[in-house]
Structure 1
């Protein structure tokens, strides 16, 4: 019987959806019927688009405000244990046709994990509920004891997650497209990258990530790298055309919009300077590209960057001089980051392949050709 899996994601940037789509493809390749649902679309009164717009505004214009909210409601020990939005959306989520009769629900966004956990706790969702963490820093809003299990790309998170929820948590490899893993094994060639982006052959390219929305103080990062004379900054501006125009006008390195050739760029690059420890950071881990975090965005971005640095898979630079020193001496973090992919894959934990059928042993001489399993010699 075909296994039906619903993946709950959210269009908050591209990271959660990127993980959801990649996981959906992997599960479909194992024979599952998979549907991806954006939980922001099920919130009433157009609260989903409002929430996304407010978050984008806060990250761009009032990061201090988002940091306060994150510390109080997400990371603080005294804040609420669940979001009121989960209660508003859970019942509407359950009424969607795709949720009926599904075998498993996988959440890749914290509000989705709250909704699924609430439904399981109330006995309204019969399918198993798995939470696939996509942040290195696991804040309280990811954790609901109604969920059945947690999958953790950071192995160190599994113990604290189980302690907080009473539910099993398992390490799993970060979910990224296979093309990035091919970079680490030499399967992706950087030929032609320099010419395509307007760099000179031999330039030491340092990618600077700003996420799909093009947020953070990446212009400051680009100027610092360009002034050093040792590195050529290549700023990934995502969908922020205004940022790209400002960088191009300022002449501090190379400004790129949304790219489909990121694996090739990573194959050509010396390092990645990241500001959120999100999907681009994990893609760099897969590619074997060293990562240094600098000027991370507020809230979960800063928390995840610090957590990744404590795990030894990236470096965190607090000042400009620290950034240049970290780039000058990348150390062994590349190997530690690649070790994350030694954990079982998420799809193998969600939907293990059936064990191969074992043929009965060949009849022993004298037993006769009609021997069957369970028969006995008389």
Structure 2
């Protein structure tokens, strides 16, 4: 067999899925593979991908209850017949098969749930001649990821792998999250010298700067002895508002997340996504607060149930948990150790092995 050729199917929905695809591609290339990245939104009919992205971004930001209802109807785990993404996935068939014909991969790796539906349908129909191994980027494996046509699921946790296996009847492996190696390199005790000022606490809002009461949360933390560092993504309006909070640091989009994680004592997170995974690798405790509806809330619950984060339900719980996790002690140490232990295997190795 010659050099492995892998087509990775991500999506330009925020930055997390593309970050995972990019890191998987780097690891696969280091193992001698040839890789190509494809934004699955470009496989949809013209205009559909941007419209889907704008609708998702708008509902999460401005109508979270609506997004929660859509998630519950289409994606949330559970039994019984409900509508799925099959009609939308069907529209990508011809364009994906064209990409396969042009690149001639030995393996397809979806890192976005719609891509997993597309590959699963094509494999089940017998028209996709190469295996599809899905890398699930969510801690909570929702219905959108699951299709029995796919050949393998690589999941973040054993619980996720068990859910994928039970729902699809297909093999499922566990790797832990995929993050850049720089986050593991900055892992350490993260000591804080009180003479240097209040302990820095990261507040994450993702690439789009999406969150609820983010500035109010920064004020609350600043008033109780923390230095909030707000990660506002590409939302300049949020960054300007956050910059007015006394004692806070407001940052726009940054490529130095490893450096920020290396300096932070705590991450206040609302998505259970890639930033949370980076914190686990860097040894920074994760505190879930006001998670995004749908997959964000389910992911935060899954992380907390696995002991990878602490979930705060109200401001008093937020402050109490922050105090416990900021100071040295068994609660902080235990959560950090469980977070590091979730990285159990190299996803690129598992995927390469699946390709034969």
Q: TM-score band (shorter)?
A: over 0.9
- Offset, 1:307: 0.8
Deviation at 1:352, TM superposition (A): 4.4
1:35, 1:98 within 8 Å by CA — same for their partners in 2? no
1:21 aligned onto 2:17? no
Partners in 2 of 1:112 and 1:190 — Cα distance? 42
Deviation per CA, 1:245-299: give whole Å up to 9, x if none: 0111343611111122221211111100000000000000000100000011111
What is the count of residue pairs matched by the alignment? 342
**Pair 1:161-2:157 in alignment:** no
Residue in 2 that maps onto 1:183: 186
TM-score, with normalisation over the residues of structure 2? 0.92
2:221 pairs with 1:219? no
- Provide the C-alpha distance between the structure 2 equivalents of 1:93 and 1:269, rounded to a whole number of angstroms: 42
Written as runs of structure 1 = structure 2, the 5 A alignment for 1:193-212 is 201-212=196-207
| Inter-partner Cα distance in structure 2 for 1:254 and 1:281 | 19
SS at structure 2 position matched to 1:286: helix
Query: RMSD across aligned C-alpha pairs, in angstroms?
Result: 1.9
Cα offsets for 1:23-65 (capped at 9, x unmatched): 0011011111100100101100310000001111111110110
Partners of 2:22 and 2:101 lie apart in 1 by: 16
Compute the displacement of 1:68 (Å).
Answer: 0.4
**3-state SS in 2 of match to 1:147:** coil
Cα distance, 1:93 vs. partner?
A: 1.1
Say whether the 8 Å CA contact 1:6–1:98 is kept in structure 2: no
Instruction: Measure how far apart 1:201 and its partner are.
Output: 2.8
Aligned to 1:255, the other structure's residue is in SS state strand
Question: Do the aligned residues in 2 keep the contact of 1:6 with 1:99 (CA within 8 Å)?
Answer: no
Q: Distance in 1 between matches of 2:101 and 2:315?
A: 49
The alignment status of 1:307 with 2:302, answered yes or no, reads: yes
Deviates more, 1:299-308 or 1:97-106: 97-106
Look up the SS of the partner of 1:273 in the other structure.
Answer: strand
Partner of 2:339: 337
Which one has a bigger Cα radius of gyration?
1
- Bigger mean CA offset, 59-68 vs 257-266: 257-266
On the 8 A contact 1:130/1:150 being kept in 2, the answer is yes
CA distance in 2, matches of 1:104, 1:243: 41
Q: Deviations over 1:78-125 (max 9, x none)?
A: 412443110111222111256652100001000000001111001111
Structure 1 residues not aligned, in runs of 5+: 195-199, 354-378
User: 1:208, 1:273 within 8 Å by CA — same for their partners in 2?
Assistant: yes
Q: Give the Å deviation of 1:8.
A: 0.3
